[in-house]
Amino acid sequence: MRRLPAAPEAGSGPRLRKGEVEVPATIRDVAKAAGVSVTTVSRALNGYPDVAEDTRQRVVKVATQLHYRPNIVARSLVTRHTQTIGFLVSEISRARIWHYFMLQVLYGIQDRLGEYGYDLILLNTNPTRQREIPYFDFCLGRQLDGAIVFNLRTDDPYVQQLTASPLPTVVVDIPLVGTQVSYVRSDNVYGARLAVEHLVALGHRRIGLVNGHAQAQVSHERLQGYRQALEEVGLPFAPELVYEADFTPEGGRKGARALLERSPRPTALFFASDLMALGALRYLQEQGIAVPQEVAVVGFDDIELAELVSPGLTTVRQRRYEMGVTAVDLLMDMVAQGHSAPAGRTLPPELVVRETT
């Protein structure tokens, strides 16, 4: 199985080649070549103070010559931490649609994690495996130091397990708390209010909502914000003006069609995702319905395309990159500092007015 049979000749010198394959130098090789013990090499390379300066220099030099790289796996076995964080994206393969949003969060995570010297592992999970194996067993088996969970549905079994997680975890979008669990999300209620208030200020009185599916936490929150804003200005809440879609362009299209059949016809449509708004925009154009003259449109997220289409999409910007960064900060507070879970963080979204309103 192993690529290399144990080398019989434990000769001295940089045992660099064995047949065709390069054998990486171990700490022992360095020790031998530098004429010190492995202990000293370990200390010298890991920056402990109790090593004579000239010894350290010699060790470093030899290590460089030998192209020595500490074996992270071996180190992890003894230190019991891997400098690795798991990124668990529920249904990553099917819910592709989410990922315009996700990507930016991922950048934030990746950038910040880099600063801490951690790497990110994309856990390969799927609904079946997910049903069988507690989420943290994935992580525990791999000795991960923590995890970030993304795109969890509220009815996912993991939600239950999460609060009692023994592993430092940050959940995106769902406000879960536990001694080892924290969260980061946008203030979706506020964001939705921003959108609706903007529409109301523009004179709209019948405002439709095309929402995400009910298993997404954010859908509830955005609906709530929508209702709040309406109530605030004394507008009635009309259930027939709410359409439950699924965040996809196709869903947005259907939602637009359905809502525009109501009478009196709404003069504005608020979508719980930009992708839906974009799908609807396309539909409206096909139907020859003028935006924003006949129907105003507001999206949610502010994905890059929002400003690339014409007319440019008015939308509620989520601080996606910052969500990633914040997730890591919260996580590192638990992992590195060993604190128990800090309070979750709720980031304020902001309205970006373009040409669809």
Partner DNA sequence: CTGTTAGCGCCTTCAC
Partner DNA sequence: GTGAAGGCGCTAACAG
Sites of contact with its own copies (CB under 8 A): 1-4, 20-22, 24, 67, 69-74, 76-77, 79-80, 82, 84, 87, 92-93, 96, 99-100, 103-104, 107, 110-111, 113-114, 118-124, 126, 137, 140-143, 166, 179, 249, 278-279, 281-282, 285-286, 305, 308-310, 338
CB nearer to its own copies: give 181 or 200.
181
Which residues fall within 8 angstroms of residue 204, CB to CB, at 6 or more apart? Answer: 266, 267, 268, 296
- Compute how many other C-beta atoms are within 10 angstroms of the C-beta atom of residue 337: 9
Is 50 an interacting residue with respect to DNA (CB under 7 A)? yes
> Of residues 75, 257, 262, 345, which one binds DNA by CB under 7 A?
75
Q: Which does 132 bind (CB under 5 to 8 A by kind): DNA, its own copies, none?
A: none
> Of residues 64, 71, 124, 340, which one binds DNA by CB under 7 A?
71
Whole-number minimum distance, CB 166 to its own copies, in Å?
Answer: 5
Spatial distance between the Cα atoms of 330 and 176, rounded to a whole number of angstroms: 13
Provide the CA 127 distance to its chain's centre, in angstroms.
18
Spatial distance between the Cα atoms of 279 and 344, rounded to a whole number of angstroms: 33
Whole-number minimum distance, CB 308 to its own copies, in Å?
Answer: 5
Whole-number minimum distance, CB 154 to its own copies, in Å?
Answer: 24
CB nearer to its own copies: give 8 or 338.
338
Lateral strand order in the sheet of 350-352: 242-244, 207-211, 268-271, 296-301, 314-317, 350-352
With contact defined as beta carbons under 8 Å apart, do 142 and 82 qualify? yes
Q: Which does 103 bind (CB under 5 to 8 A by kind): DNA, its own copies, none?
A: its own copies
Q: Which range in 31-39, 94-102, 166-174, 251-259 contacts DNA by CB under 7 A?
A: 31-39
CB nearer to its own copies: give 113 or 199.
113
CB nearer to its own copies: give 216 or 278.
278
With contact defined as beta carbons under 8 Å apart, do 261 and 243 qualify? no
CB nearer to its own copies: give 104 or 267.
104
Is 9 an interacting residue with respect to DNA (CB under 7 A)? no
Give the C-alpha distances (Å, rounded to integers) separating 347 from 59, 280, 320: 48, 27, 9
Is 45 an interacting residue with respect to DNA (CB under 7 A)? yes
Could you tell me the two tokens for 59? 């060790």
Is 28 an interacting residue with respect to DNA (CB under 7 A)? yes
Is 39 an interacting residue with respect to DNA (CB under 7 A)? yes
Single-letter residue type at 334:
M
Is 353 an interacting residue with respect to DNA (CB under 7 A)? no
Contact positions vs DNA (CB under 7 A):
1-2, 6, 26-28, 35-40, 42-43, 45-46, 50-53, 55-56, 68-71, 74-75, 77-79
